A = this chain, B = another copy of it.
Amino acid sequence: MDGARMGWELSTAVVLFHEAVARKLGLSAVDHKALGVITRSGGLTAGALAGELGMNASAVTALVGRLERAGYARRVADPADRRRVLVEADPGNRPDLAGIFADLGADMNAFMSRYDARELATIADYVTRTVEVLRKRTEALQQSL
């Protein structure tokens, strides 16, 4: 299997998994994606979230409302600028989400534990660089709209 095909398979598998998780959590794919962005950022303003997702402010207000009502995120007033609202992930009271990733983590560990340190370093390097490339390409696509 060549590299491109491999990447394609991985991408499709990730996307389908992502959507299955969303459905299980009772979220749309967009909302789940937004939750991913929020979690990764460790908290960001509503406006920044709008920028990341490419949607306008009122759509984000609605989106954050849905996530908040479902218990996946919360709004926190920004102490530095009180016009701003910080959106943070709120994983505390959602054992279902934790459960899904515990299952996935167990499966991943089952084969990851068989790699030696050298192999793990190679994998880490590959993943890190792949993420870099994907981010760069994503940004390029967004620019060119």
Chain A 118-138, CB within 8 Å of chain B: the 1/0 string?
010011101111110111111
B145→A23 contact, CB < 8 A? yes
Give the residue name and chain of the B residue nearest to A54 (CB): B23
State A54–B100 Cα separation when bound (angstroms).
Answer: 19
State A108–B4 Cα separation when bound (angstroms).
Answer: 9
Copies in the complex: 2
- A11 proximal to B (CB < 8 A): yes
B107→A137 contact, CB < 8 A? yes
The number of chain A residues touching the other chain, given as a range, is 35 or more
Known contacts: A14-B10, A112-B3, A131-B10. The answer to whether A21 contacts B103 by CB under 8 A is: no
Give the interface of A toward B (CB within 8 A).
Answer: 1, 3-4, 6-21, 23-24, 29-30, 33, 36-37, 39-40, 54, 100-101, 103-105, 107-109, 111-112, 115, 119, 122-124, 126-131, 133-138, 140-142, 144-145
